[in-house]
Amino acid sequence: MVTLLDLIGTFAFAMSGALTAMNKKLDPFGILIIAFVTSIGGGTIRDIMIGRTPVGWMRDLNYLYAINLGYVMALIFKQKLLRLRISLLLTDTIGLGVFTLIGIQKGLDYGIHPFICVALGTITACFGGILRDVLCAEIPVVFRKEIYATICILGGIVFFVLQSMAFNENVVYLATSLVIIVIRLLAVKFDWSFPTFEPKS
């Protein structure tokens, strides 16, 4: 279940990165690089932090297949996808929900405290997008007023609450991912955000 979700998240983030790169009018190689960085950036940082080396995508070629599939799908359906702004939001949101869960589970596998596991989940979910936005000359979403990383933290809390209630493992995984995805979509739809700090004139 965890591996399947990880591959789904990798595919979704690869498409998200590719679509962002297309919006920036990069060439095919540039699009592939952005797709790659977006999909494995957070997981790579997480694995290095917990001492899991070689990092995940270097151990299993299925991750590279998922990245390339997301890249190719984005290229093939680019015209339809770029016309639909919601496609970028959906792929990014699915990746957010799945990668938060994966980061938490990897931390637990290494016997790390739940608080730190939530941080690992947030890093896994957010840092690929941060690298994507930096390389595409954008202020990363996580640093702007839009709710993003906070949703990952909330998802982590939901994960441990459900786990403490002895729910089935698959139910915990599915519920955690769905909570993050639904809240993210609602936040965008209703423009939920934190106040920003502006310099006094």
**Per residue in 3-32, pLDDT tens?**
787 888 899 889 889 988 988 999 999 999
Written in H, E and C, the secondary structure of 104-166 is: HHHHHHCCCCHHHHHHHHHHHHHHHHHHHHHHCCCCCHHHCCECCHHHHHHHHHHHHHHHHCC
Q: How high is the pLDDT of residue 87?
A: 65
Q: Dig out the tokens for 69 from the structure.
A: 């599939």
The CA-to-CA distance between both ends of the chain, in Å, stands at 53
What's the pTM value of the predicted model, to 2 decimals?
Answer: 0.86
User: To which residue do tokens 């690869």 refer?
Assistant: 14
Q: In which band, very low, low, confident or very high, does the pLDDT at 188 lie, cut at 50, 70 and 90?
A: confident
Domain boundaries, the chain: 2-189
What is each CA distance from 132 to 17, 18, 115, 129, 192, in whole angstroms?
Answer: 6, 10, 26, 5, 23
Q: How high is the pLDDT of residue 8?
A: 84
According to DSSP, the residues that pair with 193 across neighbouring strands are: 146
Q: 90 vs 136, which has greater pLDDT?
A: 136
Assess whether pLDDT exceeds 80 at residue 137.
yes
Q: Dig out the tokens for 195 from the structure.
A: 């106040």
Write out pLDDT tens, residues 24-83. Answer: 999 999 999 999 999 999 999 999 999 998 998 999 999 999 999 999 998 888 777 656
